[in-house]
Amino acid sequence: AHLVYDKPVEVRHPLDILVNSIGIKKIAEQSSYLFEGLKIAPYYGCQIVRPVYHFDDLDDPTTMDDLLRGLGGDVVNYPCKVRCCGGMLMTTFEDVALDLNHRLLSAAEENGADVIVTLCPLCQMNLEAYQSKINERFGAKHHLPIVYFTQLVGLALGIEPKKLGLDSLLIPLTNPKLKAKKAVEAAA
């Protein structure tokens, strides 16, 4: 016998829920801190816009850009934001995956990013865990923190960096350029 489930379920990405169900304004109102001057490359990866996601533009998604800007982040131009990181190619065709990730890291650095923020844990791992191997292979000097978008949202909402795992990153996000929201508002 096999299991059957016949109830309709809408599967949604957490980004869709945060931006379209809760709203950027409400999240920003709840935030304790703003990312003033933190230059962010928003990396969507190749899966979020395929095959049926309808909450963002397929070729030029902007929901994460808008969310991070709403929290005070300085979102840099990042034309590689929907390019593939190679996913599981890192285990089968490592040379191809290393090249793809080198291009993603280089583009973020060329556009002045302090950090790449991603939506996909596999993208996060590929971009973070293989930087030393990429550096060795391509003679590069990548040392860019890669964080999952909910880590930055949590930080803005006042969750301690340790609880968010920011101290466990292979390349720590040091000095995330946070300023207390009250101090920023008082200065305005």
pLDDT in tens, the chain (188 residues): 788 888 888 888 899 999 999 999 999 999 988 887 899 999 999 888 776 667 788 888 999 999 999 998 999 999 999 999 998 898 899 999 999 999 999 999 999 999 999 999 999 999 999 999 999 999 999 999 999 999 999 999 999 888 999 888 999 887 667 776 655 565 55
Report the C-alpha gap between 149 and 123 in whole angstroms. 12
pLDDT at 185: 60
Distance, CA of 73 to chain centre: 12
Residue environment code for 68-85, b if the CB has 16+ CB neighbours within 10 A, otherwise e: bbbbbbbbbebebbbbbb
Judged by DSSP in three states, 141 sits in: coil
- Are the CB atoms for 99 and 181 separated by under 8 Å? no
Contact 71, 88 (CB under 8 A): no
pLDDT of residue 184: 54
Give the pLDDT confidence score for residue 2 in this predicted structure.
86
* pLDDT at site 95: 94
Q: How many Cα atoms are found within 13 Å in the side-chain-facing hemisphere of 7?
A: 2
What is the predicted pLDDT for the residue at 28?
92
